[in-house]
Amino acid sequence: MKRRMRLNMPTKPRVILLAFDGFPLHAFREATTPNLWQLGQAGGLSPDGGTTGLPSTTYPSFATLLTGASQSRTGIRTTAQKPGAVPGWAGGNRSRVPTLVHATLEAGLSATVVMGDQKLQQVLVLDTIERAWPPTAILPEGTEVDAHGYPTNAAVRPHALQAAADSDLDLLFIHLNETDTLGHDLGPSAAETMECVRAADRIVGEIVEALAPDWDRTVIAVASDHDMVRRLPYPTIDPTASLECAGLVDDWIADGCAAWLRLTHGVDAHMAISRLAALDGVEGWRWREPDVLLLLAAPGRTFAAPWIPVSGIHGSTATDRTLAIVGGGHPAVAEIGASIAARPPRLRDWAPTLAGVLNIDLPDAEGVNLLSGDAVSA
Ligand SMILES: [Zn+2]
């Protein structure tokens, strides 16, 4: 997209993109997340959150958040990594589009990432940048990991705070994963998950404190990749298992409450859709390509897979909302805040917006720059 230079930048801007994996959106309220709440009250927020694309899962959402490009452009369409299927008809496993971080470095500015998911770091091709934590997406020995093998928020925290205190950085991407792991294992409303949310919010408070000396030139955007719902005790959905759907599907990949299906060559797509959509537990579908469908499960239902989280799941329209908060003392904050208060931002809008603040090009982005007047009136 075209870059628009509408602001007179008083000083060199400093941009922080802070993202929570699987943040349970219902937990964003003053009593539970006072620091996030305060940030949004002083800056701006989307009252009902922003939106992500479908499937509402980690890799597609983060690829879109960091590039501003749709799944068809990034090639990242699923978080499931079925051997032989990704890469292939269901997309790739490394983004084809450079991220905002790459574009910032390309422009000669300084940027780093601090991430609580080393696999996501590889998907975003942020394992190759010079300065990152973990370095080259390999966890340093002794790093505390959660039940899914990802760094705990406590392990990420010192690196995030150190980077936040570095006033030479133009762009900092911080990713905190632990809410996702606890939401999956214990449920999005479990006491332990809520405690994790509170602890994550305390880290937000510390990050804000570390940014304080440069507050006037800071823009901090807070997002998440998807929401989480409780898994209900119903059978999983296998779109190839019913007699009515026999032979319709050539290959498929479950991605939580969504599933990518490739129709068998020669099958009538309309007939196939009507039968697949009638399966017990299927709530909706999207027709992405002539022979590729995305099936969506009803809330609480999930597709059959080798591993399914016990308590919390995501992937369908029930979990396509995200945190959408902006803070900081930079003049752009008020304008972005007004935009997201008027219209829920899509994940793809953040990268072009932050690129606009940094005054760098992001030619592959398809989202809108929320700093433009068009975004407010849209
Ligand atoms: Zn996620």
- Residues 189-201 pLDDT 10s: 999 999 999 999 9
Residue 202 and residue 224 share a domain: yes
My answer on whether 68 and 98 are in the same domain is: yes
316 CA distance to ligand 1 middle (Å): 13
Half-sphere exposure of 227 (CA within 13 A, CB side): 24
Q: Are residues 176 and 78 in the same domain?
A: yes
Is the sign of the CA dihedral 296, 298, 299, 304 positive or negative?
Answer: negative
**Ligand 1: distance of its center to the CA of 180 in Å?**
6
2 in the Ramachandran plot: left (φ > 0), alpha (ψ -120 to 50) or beta? beta
Distance (Å) from CA 266 to ligand 1 centroid:
35
58 CA distance to ligand 1 middle (Å): 4
Q: Is residue 5 part of a domain?
A: no
Q: Cα(226) to centroid of ligand 1, in Å?
A: 6
DSSP 130-174: SSEESGGG-PPTT--B-TTSSBPHHHHHHHHHHHHT-TT-SEEEE
Vertex 35 angle, CA 151 and 377, to 5°: 105
Residue 236 domain-assigned (yes or no): no
| 3 state DSSP class of 19 | strand
Task: Note whether 173 and 290 are same-domain residues.
Answer: no
How many residues comprise the chain? 378
* 192-232 pLDDT tens trace: 999 999 999 999 999 999 999 999 999 999 999 999 999 99
Residue 71 belongs to some domain of the structure? yes
- Residue 328 to residues 188, 208, 287, 297, 323, Cα–Cα distance (Å): 29, 9, 40, 39, 16
Do 221 and 107 share a structural domain?
yes
Q: Rg (Cα) of the chain, in Å, rounded?
A: 20
Distance 353 CA to ligand 1 centre (A): 22
CA 180 to CA 149: how far, in whole Å?
Answer: 12
Separation of 374 CA from ligand 1 center, angstroms?
A: 30
Query: What's the pLDDT score for residue 1?
Result: 44
Q: Provide the 3-class DSSP secondary structure of residue 230.
A: strand
pLDDT at 344: 97
- DSSP string for 36-101: HHHHHHHSEE-TT-EE--SS--HHHHHHHHHH---HHHH----S---TTTTTBTTB-SS-SS--HH
Q: How far is the centre of ligand 1, averaged over its atoms, from the C-alpha of 314 (Å)? A: 8
Q: Same structural domain for residues 273 and 136? A: no
Going from the Cα of 257 to the center of ligand 1, the distance in angstroms, rounded, reads: 13
CA of 265 to the centre of ligand 1 (A): 33
- The pair of structure tokens assigned to 1 is 């997209």
By CB atoms closer than 10 A (0-12, 13-18, 19+), residue 23 is buried
In a domain? residue 215: yes
The Å distance, Cα 10 to ligand 1 centre, comes to 36
**Structural domains of the chain, count:** 2
Residues of the chain by 3-state class (helix, strand, coil), percent to 5 = 35, 20, 45
Determine contact, residues 370/219, Cβ cutoff 8 Å: no
256 domain-assigned? yes
* Pair 154, 287 in one domain: no
Tell me the CA–centroid distance for residue 21 and ligand 1, in Å.
Answer: 4
Which of the listed residues 286, 308, 330 is the one where a domain comes to its end? 308
Task: Quote the ligand 1 centre to 290 CA distance (angstroms).
Answer: 28
Q: Considering 270, 287, 308, which residue would you say is the last residue of a domain?
A: 308
Within a domain: 161: yes
Are residues 122 and 62 located together in one domain of the fold? yes
Report the pLDDT value the prediction gives residue 21, as an integer from 0 to 100: 98
- Chain segment 260-286, per-residue pLDDT in tens: 999 999 999 999 999 999 999 999 999
Find the 322 Cα to ligand 1 centroid distance in Å.
Answer: 11
- CATH code, domain with 349: 3.40.720.10
Q: What integer pLDDT is reported at residue 375 of this predicted model?
A: 57
Distance 108 CA to ligand 1 centre (A): 31
CA of 294 to the centre of ligand 1 (A): 18
CA pair distance 64, 97, nearest whole angstrom: 9
Give the per-residue pLDDT at 378: 44
- Residues 174 and 224: their CA atoms lie apart, in Å, by 11
Distance 168 CA to ligand 1 centre (A): 30
pLDDT for residue 372: 83
Domain that holds residue 95: 14-230+315-377
Cα(59) to centroid(ligand 1), Å: 7
Residue 242 lies in a domain: no
290 and 339 share a domain? no
- Model pLDDT, residue 373: 65
Question: Is 197 within a domain?
Answer: yes
* CA 12 to ligand 1 center in whole angstroms: 32
Residues 259, 85: contact at Cβ < 8 Å?
A: no
- 230: CA distance to ligand 1 center in Å? 15
- Count of beta carbons in the 10 Å neighbourhood of residue 89: 15
Instruction: Give 181 Cα–ligand 1 centroid separation in angstroms.
Output: 9
Q: How far is the CA of 279 from the centre of ligand 1 (A)?
A: 26
Running DSSP on this structure, what letter comes out for residue 260? E
Round to whole Å and give the CA distance between 349 and 50. Answer: 10
Q: What is the pLDDT of residues 77-89, one digit of tens each?
A: 999 876 666 668 8
pLDDT at position 209 is 98
Report residues of the chain scoring pLDDT below 50.
1-4, 9, 376-378
Among 278, 308, 338, identify where a domain stops.
Answer: 308
